[in-house]
């Protein structure tokens, strides 16, 4: 059991970091979007490995489905001029990479200092605990988030409708 | 049953993914790839939240709840970015300005909504400005959608004045009811 878990963890970790690096370094943008979806899928596997099945079940439709779909739509609807690979990176690439590595080093060394709680009792399914937290302690932020999403949805509908009306009337 | 991969391994993977995202934001030119890198960073934060929540022995699922809010923030960021990008590519200057304005106001509303969450991470001393400002921005947003003009200050002020007068009238009626009720009880 333990060895299998370690193997799965290793495969998922390689998938996450490798696909993430590929997102940054791959030239074709649709390939980058699909690799990003693969990273999200591996992350859902990590959640299952941690015993958070509910979050994994949210992760798949929201990240793998909705956000990747949104980005692919954006790529489809905006014209992409072919460019030389030299224009691929920013000019400050070298300094950016050095800065990221400088911040990453202490953080990554401190990451290995975390340890599991001493008494790690097995917990059941995480859905009841999440539902209790959402509707007691976090009821207000939950409602605020839902109102904000509603406003965004209404705005999107109105944007699409107005576009259609302009198309019917024709150019002035 | 959960297999016993140590907590630090999960945190290390989360950190690695986060810094891949940081490198993507700092290094790449393409705006869509920068958005993707931001999403990678958010996902790394989710992984750390869930790992700490499941493995640190706290009873409630605080970390997992935060992950749900990160989902909302990620969706909002992606959609605002799409509106902004569309504003760059539409033909007419009027539409372009309107879409850009919508993206800006939406971003401000999102920022003030996130300010609302500060008390939940232990910052209790900040007054709850987020609630009021979110309402104001949602009102301006609805105005900018309903009226096709961008922001007519006179009309906005007029509407605000009418609404304020209406709410004060309602408050006065409630006050009268309250006084009447109070007197009835004591006499």
Say what the ipTM of the complex is: 0.80
**pLDDT score of B184 more than 60:** no
Q: For residues B76 and B134, is the Cβ–Cβ distance under 8 A?
A: no
Query: Other C-beta atoms within 10 Å of A139: how many?
Result: 11
**pLDDT score of B51 more than 80:** yes
Q: Distance from B180 to chain A by nearest Cα, in Å?
A: 34
Classified as helix, coil or strand, B64 is helix
- Please report which confidence band the pLDDT of residue B145 belongs to, taking 50, 70 and 90 as the band edges: low
Please tell me the pTM assigned to this model: 0.65
**pLDDT score of B181 more than 60:** yes
Query: Which of B41, B44, B47, B54 is the mutation pick for testing A, counting most A CBs within 10 A?
Result: B54
Predicted confidence at residue A38, as pLDDT, reads: 94
Of A17, A93, A116, the CB nearest to B20: A17
**pLDDT score of B155 more than 80:** no
**pLDDT score of A71 more than 80:** yes
**pLDDT score of A172 more than 70:** no
A88 contacts B82? CB cut-off 8 A: no
Question: Which of B149, B161, B77, B152 has its CA nearest to residue B114?
Answer: B77
Q: Does A160 touch chain B (CB under 8 A)?
A: no
Q: Hunting for tokens 């950016």 — which residue is that?
A: A96
Q: Distance from A126 to chain B by nearest Cα, in Å?
A: 8
Distances (CA, A) of B61 to A123, B106, B185: 11, 30, 48
Q: How far apart are CA A112 and CA A132, in angstroms?
A: 32
Surface of B (143-162) touching A: CB under 8 A? 145, 148
Q: Hunting for tokens 């987020």 — which residue is that?
A: B130
């Amino acid at each position: 059991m333990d060895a299998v878990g370690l193997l799965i963890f290793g495969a998922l970790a390689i998938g996450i970091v490798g696909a993430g690096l590929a997102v940054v370094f791959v030239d074709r943008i649709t390939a980058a979007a699909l690799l990003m979806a693969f990273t999200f899928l591996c992350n859902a596997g990590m959640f299952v490995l941690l015993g958070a099945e509910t979050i994994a079940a949210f992760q798949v439709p929201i990240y793998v489905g909705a956000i990747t779909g949104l980005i692919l739509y954006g790529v489809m609807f905006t014209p992409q001029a072919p460019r030389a690979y030299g224009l691929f990176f920013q000019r400050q690439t070298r300094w950016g990479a050095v800065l990221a590595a400088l911040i990453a080093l202490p953080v990554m060394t401190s990451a290995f200092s975390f340890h599991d709680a001493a008494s790690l009792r097995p917990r059941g399914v995480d859905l009841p605990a999440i539902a209790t937290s959402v509707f007691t302690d976090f009821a207000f932020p939950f409602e605020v988030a839902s109102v904000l999403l509603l406003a965004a949805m209404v705005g999107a509908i109105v944007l699409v409708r107005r576009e259609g009306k302009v198309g019917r009337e024709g150019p002035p | 049953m959960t297999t016993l991969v140590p907590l630090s391994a999960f945190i290390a993977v989360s950190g690695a993914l986060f810094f891949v995202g940081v490198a993507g934001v700092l290094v790449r030119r393409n705006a869509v790839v920068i958005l993707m890198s931001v999403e990678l960073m958010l996902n790394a934060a989710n992984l750390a939240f869930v790992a700490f929540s499941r493995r640190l022995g706290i009873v409630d699922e605080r970390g997992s709840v935060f992950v749900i809010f990160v989902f909302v923030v990620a969706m909002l960021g992606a959609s605002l970015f799409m509106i902004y990008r569309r504003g760059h590519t539409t033909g007419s200057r009027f539409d372009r300005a309107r879409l850009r304005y919508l993206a800006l106001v939406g971003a401000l509303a999102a920022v003030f909504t996130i300010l609302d969450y500060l008390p939940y991470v232990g910052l209790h001393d900040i007054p709850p400005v987020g609630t009021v400002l979110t309402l104001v921005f949602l009102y301006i947003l609805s105005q900018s959608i309903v009226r096709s003009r961008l922001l007519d200050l006179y009309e906005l002020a007029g509407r605000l004045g009418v609404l304020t007068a209406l709410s004060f009238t309602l408050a006065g009626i409630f006050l009268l009811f309250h006084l009447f009720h109070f007197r009835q009880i004591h006499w």
